[in-house]
Chains A and B, each alone.
Chain A
Amino acid sequence: MSLKRIDLLICCGSGCISSGALKIKDQFHNVLQDKGLTNEINIIETGCMGPCDYGPVLVVYPEGIFYKKVTPDDVEEIVNEHFLKGRPVKRLMLQDEEEKTFITQKEIPFYQKQVKVALANCGYIDPESIEEYIATGGYEALGNVLTTLTPQQTIDIIKKSGLRGRGGGGFPTHLKWQMVHDNPEEEKYFICNGDEGDPGAFMDRSLLEGDPHRVLEGMMIAAYAIGAKNGYFYIRAEYPLAIKRIKLAIAKAKEAGLIGNNIFGSDFSFEAEVRTGAGAFVCGEETALMQSIEGQRGNPTPKPPYPAVRGLYKKPTVVNNVETLGNIPSIILQGADWFASMGTENSKGTKVFALTGDIRNTGLVEVPMGITLRELIFDVGGGMIGDHKFKAVQLGGPSGGCLTTQHLDVPIDYESLKERGAMMGSGGVIVMNEEKCMVNVAKFFMDFCVDESCGKCSPCKIGLRQMQEVLKRIESGYGKEGDIEELQRLGETIAKLSLCGLGQTAPNPVLSTIRYFRDEYEAHIRDKSCANKVCADLMHYEIDKDKCIGCSLCSRKCPVSCISGSREEKYTINQLPCIKCGTCLDVCPVKAISKIPGMHPDVQAKREAEKLQQQNQEE
């Protein structure tokens, strides 16, 4: 039995690592060693605790005290005051606007509406320790399944739970399993899809890094249910830590006899392997993913045949998402009824979301299905940063649509979102405030899809590029009447005819922003104006002569020397060469420069002249 009296949990999810968590860990090691406290204090590196915005974060047990935005310089104080004198450091605790201090993790508003199922252990255990996973009930589900249930009984439990694929498709998990289970083929495969390419999504990364054994256990239960002896983890190469943790988990499970032959004394034998991607978003699509595992270019193949019939190496295969697998052990241990008691009629259980954008509490959360957007954004997410107002939220990344203020009371479940032109997606939630231009956002997602298109089918390869051209024109002030209708026509056609999910859903951001923010498109086209002053060609910078003090700083800093004037006459921006870099606004000491929506008349006149010239040449 150990003599340790403090468990110091340091969040080492990639988010906190990127804010310097490892330096803090090293500093703790040094200070504790200097003070001879290493026998009394356990340092545990955990996976993601969730609130990325407060990172780097620490939790100190047994009290459960939560420290936010810790720096290496704070370490000495924490050790002296808290560990040695028993006086937790108040200034490092979270405070709200009314200066109320939240001492323990449990009290924090961010966690109040969350229910952790897939993320139960994330931020609580050392992900590199199989013992800690076992301590929280790990591998008991697998043991129960292998020693007391048949594969069909296992599938029935998952059916009863109502679990649907968490990767975005929302397909009932038990159906895929049943199809492959019923297939008389001997050779079957199971694949865990860890190619989380959606911008703004890091649910799967956090789970793979923070609780890799849970995903492995889920995979093994699934493999048993379908009759597969081999499992593959396909993880994108941009997640080196996740790859390392899963490989370690597999090695430790093997050492413990949990992978190999006759697991738990049953007839079930299983081997798992890790394969990585190499920077291709399309490999998140299951057929492209399987091509990639087979060492080919990641081009999707037509469906049917579905992977359940002909998948990896042409054998029946189930591909499940990381989060889907993360739910399996809990469903087995706590029961299908327990899982089905959460959520809505058709969307059972919980969902992990990654909150990003203009929201106060960015980070990773897990909430019951059916929570409203308002609760997610304002209660869990803490609302908008600063005095800004909520404008729109993009759910489901480049495949999803956006929702606006009129949808704040919509419950988050698969069907409700679909009805409104949006989708659950994998869980990325990008929140935008009133300063964002929706045309610009739509174009951004379109650029992404054009880049990631594999090029195999024409509707996607050529069609998306055409949509991109129209958006480029609109954004640069060359939009014309009929462009909106053209985008809609193209979008609907591409969605119908594309070979895979990438092309089928790529038009969604454009189509949904047209649906809810048509006026912004119209202003860009008719008035040549970007009301939010984002689209560079549809806004301009202006110096207010009444405020200008003639200091010439803007003129000197301007990279294209387009500002001229004098102390007496004040300064003016020559709009034609202006590149809209914003340097002048940044440096002006008296805030005399501002952004104005709309193309400047000088620029407009120049374009008219060019147009006329072009017309004359053609005649």
Chain B
Amino acid sequence: MIKEICQKYAPHKDNLIQILHEVQDQDPQHYISPEAVDTIAEYLKIPVNHIYGVLTFYTMYSTKPRGKNIIRLCESPPCYLKGSENILRKLKILLGINIGETTKDGIFTLEFTSCLGVCGNAPVMMINDDVYGDLTEEKVEDIIDKIRGRK
């Protein structure tokens, strides 16, 4: 599976960042496993520690398994000025977890993200690739419930 992803790209070091993104997105737990790192290192013919250097530098990659839905709450000033702290408090209560943690049922992981660029509709959060703006505590509860219902 991982090898197939690699083979879509030429075996150059330049393609590391895109490969890591695709490998992570394909994994149901949204992370890059040690096995994946080995496979990628072999394909690109680069040392494993170079890959870890890159993995740990960029904040969107995770070396730990995460939930099915990654909630990224924007913590930048425009969202903060519009009350993102209240949204964070609500999320912590709804999910029963802290930032960086995953719910026991593996459905949600809660993270901070830097500015999502949707500041006109602050406060904002992203769940996987979907962006939700003009958040209120009620809306957040609604969104989480809908995702839970869908599962």
Contact = CB atoms under 8 A, between A and B. Distances in A.
* A and B in direct contact, judged by CB atoms within 8 A: yes
Interface of A: 14-15, 17-19, 52-53, 55, 196-202, 205, 237-240, 275-281, 292-298, 354-358, 362-364, 394, 428, 430, 432, 436, 441, 444-445, 448, 451-452, 454, 581
B17 A275 contact: yes
Contacts of B65: none
Contacts of B151: none
Interface of B: 12-18, 20-21, 53-54, 57-61, 76-78, 80-82, 89, 113-122, 124, 126, 129, 131-134
13 contacts: A18-B134, A52-B120, A201-B115, A202-B119, A275-B18, A276-B18, A276-B21, A278-B21, A356-B120, A362-B119, A432-B81, A436-B81, A451-B114
A17 B124 CA distance: 12
B21 A200 contact: no
B117 A239 contact: yes
Contacts of B82: 357
A280 B113 contact: no
A293 B76 CA distance: 26
A299 to B, nearest CB: 8
B151 to A, nearest CB: 20
Given A201-B115, A357-B78, A436-B81, A279 B58 contact: yes
A197 B117 CA distance: 8
Contacts, number: 141
A445 B77 CA distance: 7
Contacts of B117: 14, 196, 201-202, 205, 238-239
A354 B120 contact: yes
Nearest to B82: A357
Nearest to A17: B131
Given A14-B118, A278-B58, A294-B13, A444 B18 contact: no
A547 B116 CA distance: 43
Contact of A199 (B12, B53, B76): B76
A356 B12 contact: no
Nearest to A236: B117
Contacts of B14: 275, 293-295
Contacts of B57: 280, 297-298, 454
A564 B56 CA distance: 48
B21 A55 contact: no
Given A14-B131, A298-B58, A358-B81, A202 B15 contact: no
Contacts of B133: 15, 18-19
Contacts of A294: 13-14
A430 B113 contact: no
B17 A356 contact: no
A529 B62 CA distance: 41
A200 B53 contact: no
Contact of B60 (A205, A237, A356, A430): A237
A231 B125 CA distance: 32
Contacts of B12: 295
B60 A15 contact: no
Nearest to A232: B14
A18 B124 contact: yes
B121 A52 contact: yes
Contacts of B61: 278-279
Given A55-B121, A441-B77, A448-B76, A295 B17 contact: yes
